Amino acid sequence: MVTLIYKFDEYILSYIANNMHNQILDKVMIAFTSLGNKGLIWIAISIALIVSKKYRKVGIMVLTAIIIGSIFGEGLIKHIVKRTRPFYLDPTIKLLIAKPASYSFPSGHTTASFAAASILSRYFKKCAPAFFAVAILIAFSRIYLYVHYPTDVLAGIVLGLVSGKITIYLFKKLKTV
């Protein structure tokens, strides 16, 4: 099973590297990955919401979901799985961004993006497609830039969505949702 997963990951990475790269897309993917650095875009949105009394709770919920995802993803799972990033296994790859120092599985950018998008889309339903589009582009950028395997990103999606659900559950228990 593990071999099948690695072959899937390698096939997708190879396909993207050989068929999708161009100067314009390189810049677009760098821009989207930069938006996801340290959850920057999502934290900025959270702060803007927290400043508004009307949406303060939503901003706090977004930050809570990101923190939950980070505790489990960055703090726990990465150190249990210890998956090497794909660029270390292929010395011919020239990275377009700085080498991330942490382990690969799961993708932290993806976890934070889907945690935030899941909360934001619950409260701003009309904007849900935009939130998830940005989350998907940030997630895809991590594969495109060869710093994550597709399964790292899939795990980040699941962890982010679960973090959002946990946050909603916790806030309901506290009777604040």
Decide if 11 is inside a domain: no
Residue 137 maps to a domain: yes
Residue 112 maps to a domain:
yes
Answer for the pair 32, 40: CB distance below 8 angstroms, yes or no.
no
Name the CA dihedral angle for 63, 121, 40, 156, rounded to a multiple of 10 degrees.
80
- Per-residue pLDDT reduced to its tens digit, 7-25: 999 999 999 988 998 999 9
Token look-up 């909360």 returns: 119
Residue 146 in tokens: 């060869």
Distance CA 28, CA 146 (A): 14
**Structural domain includes residue 37:** yes
Range of the domain at 77: 27-173
For the cut 60, the answer to whether the pLDDT of residue 177 exceeds it is no
How many structural domains comprise the chain?
1
Confidence of residue 147 (pLDDT cuts 50, 70, 90): very high
Residue 20 falls inside a structural domain:
no
Digit-coded pLDDT (tens) for 35-86: 889 888 999 999 999 999 999 999 999 999 999 999 999 999 999 999 999 9
Does 31 have pLDDT greater than 70?
yes
Percent of the chain residues topping a pLDDT of 90: 81
- Phi (first) and psi of residue 93, to 5 degrees: -75, 130
* Contact status, residue 49 vs residue 116, Cβ threshold 8 Å: no
103 within domain boundaries:
yes
**Does 13 reside within a domain?**
no
| pTM of the predicted structure, to 2 decimals | 0.93
